[in-house]
C-alpha cells in the first residue's frame, strides 16, 4: 500500500509517451470514480489524440492505495509525476471533481511556462461555487445519503462487495471535495470549454458559468441533454462538441 504522496510507480503504468500523437488528453474522474472509462472516448476522437486516463489512488489498478485526503496535495503529486514524464502537446479533461483537478494542474503548469492547450470541464461547477456534499459521517445513512445526492449510485449498490471495496475512496473523495477551496488569485490563461447537462441533478448549469472568471483565455459554456454521468455513454451531441472543439484547438481534421 502506498502513501498518498507516492504516485510514481503506479502512474507509470498509465502514462504513455505521446511521441506519435498530436495531442495527449489527460482525463480526470468524478469523486469516487475511476478515469478508465474515458479510454473509450478514443473511438470518436481523432486518431491524433491520445486519451490518457489518470488513475488516482484508491481506485482501478490503484485500489489498494490510500485514497487522497487533501486536494492540493493530490494535485501537487499528479503535477510532479506529469512533468517528470515526456510532455509534448497536452490538454486536460475532467468530469465534476476532475474539472477542479484540471484547473489546479493548469495553474501549476502555467507557472513553469508549459500551459496545456485547453481544459474541458464536464458537469463540473466552478471551484468557487458553494457545494452541498453529503458528509457521509453516519455509517447507517451512507448509502441513503449517496442516493439522495446522486441517484446513479444505485447502480453501484447492486454490487455490495464492490461497494464495500470502493466506499473508503468515495467517502474520502467527498470529504476532500467538501474541504477544497481554490486559492484566491490563481487565474489561468488556458482556454476552457464547460459542458453542462440539462438533466444533471448534481451540477446545475448556472454553477458552471463562473468558470469564465478563472481564465483570461477563451471560455465557452455548452448546455446539452445529459445527466451527471454523461461521460460514461457519450451522446452523439457530446461526441460532436468535444471532437469539434479538440480538432479546432489542435488544428487536426477529425
Structure confidence at residue 21 (pLDDT): 67
What is the mean pLDDT of the segment spanning 102-120? 97
Structure confidence at residue 100 (pLDDT): 98
How many Å is the Cα radius of gyration of the chain?
17
Among 59-63, 76-80, 188-192, 221-225, name the one with the lowest average pLDDT. 59-63
Structure confidence at residue 86 (pLDDT): 77
Structure confidence at residue 10 (pLDDT): 42
Structure confidence at residue 253 (pLDDT): 40
- The per-residue pLDDT for range 208-240, each reduced to its tens digit, is 999 999 999 999 999 999 999 999 999 999 999
Strand partners, 209: none
Among 20-24, 116-120, 243-247, name the one with the lowest average pLDDT. 20-24
Sequence-ordered alpha helix ranges (H) in 158-231: 160-179
Structure confidence at residue 241 (pLDDT): 97
- The per-residue pLDDT for range 176-211, each reduced to its tens digit, is 999 999 999 999 999 999 999 999 988 999 999 999
- Please check the confidence at residue 16 and state whether its pLDDT lies above 50: no
- The mean pLDDT of the chain is 87
At residue 240, the 3 state secondary structure works out as: helix
Structure confidence at residue 5 (pLDDT): 40
The larger pLDDT score, comparing residue 185 to residue 162, is at 185
What is the mean pLDDT of the segment spanning 26-55? 93
For 136, the grid coordinates are 457521509
What predicted TM-score, i.e. pTM, was given to this entire model? 0.87
Structure confidence at residue 20 (pLDDT): 59
pLDDT classification of 54: cutoffs 50, 70, 90: very high
What is the mean pLDDT of the segment spanning 119-148? 85
List, as own/partner pairs, every contact residues 202-209 make where C-beta atoms lie below 8 angstroms and the sequence separation is at least 24, other chains included. Answer: 202/96, 202/123, 202/149, 202/150, 202/228, 203/96, 203/123, 203/124, 203/125, 203/228, 204/125, 207/125, 207/126, 207/129, 208/121, 208/124, 208/125, 208/126, 209/126
Amino acid at each position: 500500500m502506498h502513501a498518498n504522496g507516492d504516485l510514481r510507480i503506479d502512474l507509470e503504468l498509465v502514462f504513455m509517451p505521446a511521441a506519435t500523437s498530436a495531442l495527449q488528453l489527460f482525463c480526470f474522474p468524478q469523486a469516487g470514480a475511476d478515469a478508465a472509462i474515458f479510454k473509450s472516448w478514443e473511438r470518436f476522437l481523432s486518431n491524433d489524440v491520445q486519451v490518457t486516463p489518470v488513475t488516482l489512488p484508491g481506485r482501478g489498478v490503484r485500489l489498494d492505495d490510500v485514497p487522497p485526503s487533501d486536494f492540493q496535495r493530490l494535485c501537487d503529486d499528479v503535477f510532479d509525476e506529469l512533468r517528470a514524464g515526456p510532455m509534448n502537446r497536452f490538454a486536460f479533461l475532467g468530469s465534476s471533481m476532475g474539472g477542479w483537478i484540471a484547473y489546479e494542474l493548469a495553474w501549476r503548469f502555467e507557472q513553469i511556462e508549459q500551459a496545456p492547450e485547453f481544459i474541458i470541464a464536464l458537469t463540473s461547477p466552478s471551484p468557487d461555487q458553494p457545494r452541498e456534499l453529503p458528509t457521509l459521517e453516519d455509517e447507517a445513512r451512507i448509502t441513503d445519503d449517496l442516493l439522495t445526492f446522486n441517484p446513479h449510485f444505485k447502480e453501484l449498490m447492486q454490487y455490495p462487495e464492490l461497494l464495500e471495496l470502493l466506499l473508503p475512496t468515495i467517502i474520502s473523495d467527498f470529504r476532500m471535495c467538501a474541504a477544497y477551496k481554490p486559492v484566491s488569485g490563481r487565474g489561468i490563461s488556458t482556454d476552457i470549454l464547460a459542458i453542462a447537462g440539462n438533466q444533471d441533478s448534481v451540477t446545475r448549469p448556472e454553477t458552471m458559468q463562473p468558470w469564465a472568471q478563472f481564465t483570461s483565455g477563451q471560455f465557452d459554456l455548452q448546455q446539452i441533454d445529459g445527466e451527471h454521468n454523461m461521460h460514461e455513454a457519450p451522446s452523439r451531441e457530446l461526441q460532436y462538441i468535444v471532437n469539434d472543439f479538440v480538432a479546432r484547438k489542435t488544428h487536426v481534421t477529425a
